[in-house]
Amino acid sequence: MTDAPVRRAAPSDSPAAPSSGAAGRGTPSLSEVAAAYPDPPARRRPAGPRLRRLGKHVALVVFGFVMLYPLLWMLASSFKPTALIFREPGLIPTEWDFSNYTEGWNALLDPFGHYLLNSAIVVLGSVLGNLVSCSMAAYAFARLKFRGRNLWFAVMLMSIMLPIHVIIVPQYILFSSLSWINTFLPLIVPKLLATDAFFIFLMVQFFRGIPKELDEAARLDGCGHGRIFLRIMLPLSLPALATTAIFTFIWTWNDFFSQLIFLTKPDMYTVPIALRTFVDATSNSSWGPLFAMSIVSLIPVFLVFLFGQKYLVKGIATTGIK
């Protein structure tokens, strides 16, 4: 089922074209070679005459602005009195109101910080879980020879495409029989068991790009697989680990479906569920506070985007093609 893109994806060839930057600085270091994601090669063709190029930039900027406008407007509106939100399409508040944030913070049963903390716990557990369990599984698929490897690899790939909705009912029954409902365990334990197989695939791709000679040399020196994995593969795979951590962070932070199902006690609510309760209880009068808390909920993702962009962009690009 998943055959074609995967075969395409498997990098039987070298890890990646060495980046032009590394080449310029002389011999690239080992980690640079192993970590090298393809950097854009030199520009393909000169882009038309100057005026046309300028026009293009203007169009791209305008289009980007239009795309981001709703976001910017929400940010601006979070500083407006609620009545203005329904009247003022502009970005600069004619009247500033900072009380949205204090009001929104205290609008629900617990202060909003409580939900942020709950989300942070779930996210942290998920990130750690995925990093450990997926990298272990990926090492086995990328480097170890064992019977049925191709079969299990195919099973793993198919599990990536399995919709959560298909298995959520029995999962709920299972977790409720363990009395795990309204704890964070149903959200974290599966990650410790590498159920986010997408990241196994991502790391297998990356591990395959690390020269085999390295672990063979280590093996001759008497290293076992545990040490090869910890001392060679993981340190060389920091970019892949970063990509995994960042994506897990964002997906878990945004995740609504499973948190909605497993967390029903207000005390245990995470940010998305708290926001849902907020919006359900909101009449037209409290959109300001609602917007304020929505902005608060987006800040962590935005920060990750800001500082982890490189890994995000390269992460989706490599899984797509390499």
Residues 97-126 binding other proteins (CB under 8 A) are none
Q: Which of positions 288-307 make contact with other proteins (CB under 8 A)?
A: 290-291, 294-295, 297-298, 301-302, 305
| Cα 206 to Cα 139: distance, rounded to the nearest angstrom | 10
Which DSSP category does 96 fall into?
-
CA nearest to 242, candidates 299, 141, 313 = 313
Give min distance, CB of 96 to other proteins, in A.
19
| Cα 163 to Cα 257: distance, rounded to the nearest angstrom | 12
Which residue in 33, 35, 107, 156 binds other proteins (CB under 8 A)?
Answer: 156
- Under the binding rule (CB under 8 A), the answer on residue 309 touching other proteins is yes
Between helices 238-254 and 112-143, what is the axis angle to 10°? 140
Task: Give the interface size with other proteins as a residue count (CB under 8 A).
Answer: 105
Give min distance, CB of 211 to other proteins, in A.
19
Q: Name, in order, each residue with C-beta under 8 angstroms of 88's C-beta and a sequence gap of 6 or more.
A: 77, 80, 94
Q: Which of positions 67-96 make contact with other proteins (CB under 8 A)?
A: 67-68, 70-71, 73-74, 85-89
Q: Which stretch binds other proteins (CB under 8 A): 19-27, 112-120, 172-180, 208-216?
A: 172-180
- Under the binding rule (CB under 8 A), the answer on residue 8 touching other proteins is yes
Q: Which of positions 248-287 make contact with other proteins (CB under 8 A)?
A: 250-251, 253-254, 256-257, 260-261, 271-272, 275-276, 279-280, 284, 287
Cβ–Cβ under 8 Å, residues 255 and 188: no
Q: Which two tokens stand for residue 221?
A: 């020196």
- Under the binding rule (CB under 8 A), the answer on residue 147 touching other proteins is yes
| Cα 30 to Cα 212: distance, rounded to the nearest angstrom | 13
| Cα 289 to Cα 133: distance, rounded to the nearest angstrom | 40
Which residue in 190, 209, 239, 289 binds other proteins (CB under 8 A)?
Answer: 190
Q: Which of positions 206-225 make contact with other proteins (CB under 8 A)?
A: 224-225
Q: Which two tokens stand for residue 209?
A: 């790009």
- Shorter beta-carbon distance to other proteins: residue 105 or 251: 251
Measured over all CA atoms, what is the biggest interatomic distance in the chain, rounded to whole angstroms?
73
- Shorter beta-carbon distance to other proteins: residue 29 or 212: 212
